[in-house]
A and B are shown apart, each in its own frame.
Chain A
Amino acid sequence: MSSVDVRERAKKAEKKPSAIGPDIDLNAYSVEVKEHGKIQKLKNLSGEVKEKAISVGVEAVEACRSGSFFQMDHSVILSSAYKSGLEVMSSTEALKKYDWLQDYWWKAVNVDADKYTAQAELKQNHGYFLRALPGAKVEFPLQACLYMTQDGLAQNVHNIIIAEEGSELHIITGCTTAPGVRTGLHIGVSEFYVKRNAMVTFTMIHNWAEDVEVRPRTGAIVEDNGIFLSNYVCMKPVKTLQMYPTAYCVGENANVRFNTILFAREGSNMDVGGRVFLRAKGSRAELVTRAITKGGDIVTRGHLIGEVPGIRGHLECRGLILSEKGSIHAIPELEGKANNIDMSHEAAVGKIVEEEIQYLMARGLNSEEATSVIIGGFLDVEIKSIPEHLKREIKKAVRMGEERLL
């Protein structure tokens, strides 16, 4: 498909609302913003920016990172890889550099899926290109920060992540706004290609402002023995967030896991799902969600499609309602299209069980302390196979949100 065709399809979808989630008036957001100058080191960021970046796991100290990408509004102000075997650059730049990248562009996500994917094509503002060369194994994570400084701005990024055969890539992405920004629209298309025997772990932390609208559009294609682990944490306010990342296990023994941790307070509307097509023998998927509301509304979806014999999948969703207002709607879906498949789900939504609080109180905690220990435990999703310091980042992000839970 030529790039002309792609644009044609995007144009046709320009007004197509998303199948789910509140509709957004795209014209309400500006697409113009001044360019920001490049920086040499993340250290050179102002203290304020650094602080926000740290809140989403992006460290100015680059020692325990293998590369960094920083996009401010529509400008890529820094992109560099510190380790060999890795490539980090703006996706627009990469598209110019590599002809073959056309073969990956809009292959894991449909350009005409809805008006958000269409806008990402028609009004793209960079995004990152991250690639691990064949066999490259880098323990330290690559970090990417998408940062918005202007009120009312639309940021439309298109990210491509490629883990070539036998490589191992750990990524932490933080998305956030400058202090003082209240409104904005973030559209983020991310296409993951996990080749044979490769592994990608992708940890994304969101820390938006009260009135920001967010529409990530993610697709992942996982080949033989490939592993794709995606962790998503959103503990901070957001006006509307809707995403339904989809992974395709196309190779034998492909393995996908989504962990999602959500906290919605009053005024936040989150609709977050995960979908995995199990298309090859031995492929596996596990989706785990923890959702807490204190006044906000959460829809949590999971969808497994088992298309061939010998696949396995499990969905787990637990929701905790901490206030009179607010709602959690868990929608697990299992679709079996072959025999000899093993798919299951468990979902539970409710308030904290009083008996558990009493149990902890009998050991000496007062009721607030007991509640906080129970919430801490509830959010403590066991996250396997990612480096320790990324686990710490996730814990940190969760804890920062937790402080406001009580």
Chain B
Amino acid sequence: MIEVKNLTVSIEDKRVLKDVNLHIAQGETIVLLGPNGSGKTSLLKTIIGIPEYKVESGMILFSGKDITKLTIDERARLGIGIAFQRPPAVRGVKLKDMLRICMEKRGDFKEEKINEFAQKLNLFNCLDRDINLGFSGGEIKRSELLQLLAQNPDFIMLDEPDSGVDLVSINLVGKVINELLEKEKIARERTKAGLIITHAGFILDYVNTDRGCIMLNGTIICSGNPRDLLEDIRSKGYEGCIRCLR
């Protein structure tokens, strides 16, 4: 579904991604691990097309189509969705307004869906509030997912959906991610693919993932079974990865 080829990206003349290669097939979910500042968010933002992340070389293919030069909204309308790690607040624009926009832009607005989706993430009380303004950490995470429910994208990128989410909410978050990724179906019948960033890996207890990748200094240095990778990081730290590189 998505293919990142030899991607090198800089922001304000600082190189944040170096020769990144990543392929995610339809039906698959990949976990992206890596220390703070290693470039995980940068990769997601480059895939969605934030212009500050300048592609120096390489390309991004979505369903076989080169999207490297498309605008953010063109990519969104093609079916790429993202839950941001730290989305901005927008004054006067209600969460409800955002849900309407998400649905409309994917060609299917149904008023009654708003409540149905909000129910799934227990976010009724945020619908009439300005988006992200004064939202708690956990509310932001759920509100990002709520927007994805409304958008129903094919390729779903989640930037730390489990950070700062309480034990009850993570249950809801896990359920919704499974729904978005059509986890109830068998892999080859799914029409979705996912890329999830996590640090602690809590989300792995709720969502089955196929593969994990570790990013270090802007490069994906290895991949493997996500739980094994997490276990290695837990026991040996990221130094272990560095050693492994040698």
Contacts and interface: CB of A to CB of B under 8 A. Distances in A.
Interface of A: 318, 353, 355-356, 358-367, 370, 373-374, 376-380
Contact of B101 (A367, A373, A379): A373
Contacts of A377: 90-93, 97, 130
Contact of B87 (A359, A365, A367, A374): A359
Contacts of A374: 90, 92-93
B73 A365 contact: yes
Nearest to A377: B92
B206 interface: no
Contact of A359 (B51, B90, B92): B90
A363 B92 contact: no
A365 B91 CA distance: 17
B84 interface: yes
Given A365-B101, A365-B105, A366-B71, A360 B90 contact: yes
B134 interface: no
B88 A364 contact: no
26 contacts: A318-B91, A355-B88, A356-B90, A358-B72, A359-B87, A359-B90, A360-B90, A361-B72, A361-B76, A362-B82, A363-B98, A363-B101, A364-B76, A364-B106, A364-B151, A365-B101, A365-B105, A367-B71, A373-B93, A373-B97, A373-B101, A374-B92, A374-B93, A377-B97, A379-B92, A380-B92
Nearest to B132: A359
A113 B149 CA distance: 60
B48 interface: yes
B22 interface: no
Interface of B: 48, 50-51, 71-73, 76-77, 81-82, 84, 87-88, 90-93, 97-98, 101-102, 104-106, 130, 147, 151
Nearest to B89: A356
A378 B92 contact: yes
A403 B50 CA distance: 28
A367 B130 contact: no
B91 A363 contact: no
B124 to A, nearest CB: 20
Contacts of B147: 363
A356 B88 contact: yes
A376 B97 CA distance: 11
Looking at chain A's contact residues, the main secondary structure is helix
Contacts, number: 70
A377 B88 CA distance: 14
B109 to A, nearest CB: 12
Contacts of A365: 73, 101, 105
Nearest to A318: B91
B108 to A, nearest CB: 12
A362 B92 contact: no
A358 B51 CA distance: 9
Contact of B71 (A356, A361, A363): A361
Contact of B102 (A355, A358, A363, A378): A363
Contacts of B91: 318, 377-378
Given A355-B88, A364-B76, 4 more contacts: A358-B51, A359-B87, A363-B105, A364-B106
B138 to A, nearest CB: 19
A353 B89 CA distance: 10
A341 to B, nearest CB: 26
A370 B147 CA distance: 16
Contacts of A318: 91
Name, among B71, B81, B105, the residue most crowded by chain A CB atoms within 10 Å (CB to CB).
B105
A358 B87 CA distance: 10
A384 to B, nearest CB: 15
In the complex, the 9 A-B pairs of residues with the closest C-beta atoms, listed nearest first:
A377-B92, A364-B105, A361-B72, A380-B92, A377-B93, A361-B73, A364-B76, A355-B88, A366-B73
A170 B192 CA distance: 56
A363 B51 CA distance: 16
A374 to B, nearest CB: 6
Contacts of B81: 362
Nearest to A382: B92
A380 B97 CA distance: 13
A276 to B, nearest CB: 24
B44 to A, nearest CB: 10
Given A353-B88, A377-B92, A364 B71 contact: no
A372 B86 CA distance: 23
Contacts of A367: 71, 73
A378 B130 CA distance: 11
Given A359-B87, A373-B97, A379-B92, A364 B77 contact: yes
Contacts of A376: 92-93
Given A364-B76, A364-B106, A377-B92, A359 B130 contact: no
A362 to B, nearest CB: 5
Contacts of A363: 76, 98, 101-102, 105, 147, 151
A361 B78 CA distance: 12
A285 to B, nearest CB: 22
B17 to A, nearest CB: 18
B76 A359 contact: no
Contact of B76 (A353, A362, A373): A362
A3 B4 CA distance: 84
B135 to A, nearest CB: 13
A360 B84 CA distance: 12
A359 B105 contact: no
A360 B95 CA distance: 12
B50 A358 contact: yes
Contacts of A379: 92
